[in-house]
A and B are shown apart, each in its own frame.
Chain A
Amino acid sequence: MRIRILPYAAAYQEAVRAFTARLHAGVAGSPASLSSIRNLLLSAEDCRPGDEFLLAVDENQVVRGTYILRHQEFWIGDRVARAACYCLPVSEGIVDRAYTSLGVPLLLDALRRQPLLYGLGMGGYHERLPQLLAAAGWRMITVPFYLYIAHPDRFLHNIAYLRRSPLRARAFDLLAGSGLGWLGIKAFQALHRPRARSAPVGSETVGRFSEGIDELWETCKSRYALCAVRNRAVLDLLYPAANERFLRLEVRRGRRLIGWAVLLDTQLARHKYFGDMRLGSIADCLADPADAHTVVACARQVLEDAGADLIVSNQSHGAWRRALRDCGFLQGPSNFLLGTSRELTRVLRGDGRDMPLDQMHFNRGDGDGPINL
């Protein structure tokens, strides 16, 4: 078998369709592979401008694997460098053992195209991809997950992740019915109420981020050791005005723009973790670290006012994690991983040690995109 990895072209549209059809058929009824289903939806339409959609094609022009290389510019210490996210790799190996080895050349091809490579999300250490990256010598870190319970009763009745046995479900129902759950959660939140600020702060959701975004980026980038470039052009690309799913929040102190966030407000149905809750999500955000608290407080308020039962966020940087805690968020179990290639890990290393996670600003906006939450 000879495999070539080449960029997607319209001529391969049918071959990609046939590939995904074989995967769908192959994983049907196989619980172990269900987490791969998401990847099977991959097509050229999933790509953003600037992404490379790559195909592993055999000598008969049959597609045997695909992945997306999502290029992003990052502020690293004192300069902007190009890196890429290794997104949604999938090979025929998940349904046909004859192609077991294909995950390796896919990864090596991506590294050849961009040695400064990272993976984000990936569903937890039990999944194949993070295990493969770890085997390849990547540095793997868990990006913390935070949740704010806006409606305790709805949370207790719907949190499928915690209600995994009849006994536990009954216990959560009792907590909800007795009011004890509500009392405990609200008491915790009362102790973590956003601090009052001296200068008046205002926030508004906008159809498109304003021009002040560029100035904000220029002034606050050097406050991060590592941060994806988030100027106005990038935000327009990642969160296009035409996509009404994104709530674009701008936060101002007086007239000055001090931060922004991209929020999602989604009514879930039978979600494997969150049941039927209305889920708010802080998917992406930026501010001077000193203003992170203010942005999180505003984002939380907007989502609460919109009716969210639960608000979640994955954040790596220390200031954003503190901000979430100070605004009443609890830290929960995270399956959101960051993997950095050997070369990227080396570039990020300073003083002979790996860059600590709390100096890197990563969230859901930096990976496959806030697809699920």
Chain B
Amino acid sequence: MHDDQVAEAFRAAMRLEKGFVLRDDMSFDHVPGWDSIGHMNLVLELEKRFATVLDMDQIVAMDSVGAVRDVVARKQAGKS
């Protein structure tokens, strides 16, 4: 569930093409549009979709698709 939402957040933030496949080991160099502006869009998308606020360490830690999933999973686990 979270994974799909994370992928959707990426797609919306980076305006990825439909066929683009995200893998956990992908970082800034591998995802089109993942620059500082894409990162800002991603933060806002995640905060909206998961009704949460990311702190500075979490924002900096999100340096790969897998790392984003980890941050979101930990945030969600902390909520429940």
Question: In the complex, A144 Cα to B49 Cα: how many Å?
Answer: 38
Answer yes or no: B41 CB below 8 A from chain A CBs. yes
Which residues 130-182 in A have Cβ within 8 Å of B in the complex?
131-132, 135-137
Among B29, B36, B60, max chain A CB count under 10 A is at B36
- In-complex Cβ contact of A132 among B28, B36, B62 (8 A): B36
The tally of residues in A whose CB lies under 8 Å from a CB in B reads: 23
A104 x B36 contact (CB < 8 A): yes
Considering the complex, which residues of chain A in the window 1-37 have a beta carbon less than 8 Å from any beta carbon of chain B? 1-3, 5
Contact stretch, chosen from A93-101, A199-207, A230-238: A93-101
Among B41, B59, B61, B63, which residue has its beta carbon within 8 angstroms of that of A135?
A: B41
CB neighbors of A among B1-39 (8 A): 27-29, 34-37, 39
Interface of A, helix, strand, loop or mixed by DSSP? helix
Contact present for A2 and B40 (CB under 8 Å): no
What A residues does B37 contact at CB under 8 A? 128, 131-132, 135
Instruction: State whether B59 touches A2 (Cβ < 8 A).
Output: no
Nearest-neighbor residue (CB-CB) of A91 within chain B: B36
Is B60 within 8 A of A100, CB to CB? no
Q: How far is the CA of A108 from the CA of B43 in the complex (A)?
A: 11
Interchain CB contact under 8 A, A104 and B61: no
Say yes or no: is A44 at the interface (Cβ < 8 Å to chain B). Answer: no
Complex Cα gap A2–B55 (Å): 12
A105, A128, A135: the one contacting B60 at CB < 8 Å is A105
- B residues near A (Cβ < 8 Å) are 27-29, 34-37, 39-41, 43-44, 56-57, 59-63
17 A-B Cβ contacts within 8 A? A5-B56, A97-B27, A97-B29, A98-B63, A100-B28, A100-B34, A100-B39, A101-B36, A101-B60, A101-B62, A102-B36, A105-B59, A105-B60, A109-B56, A128-B36, A135-B37, A135-B41
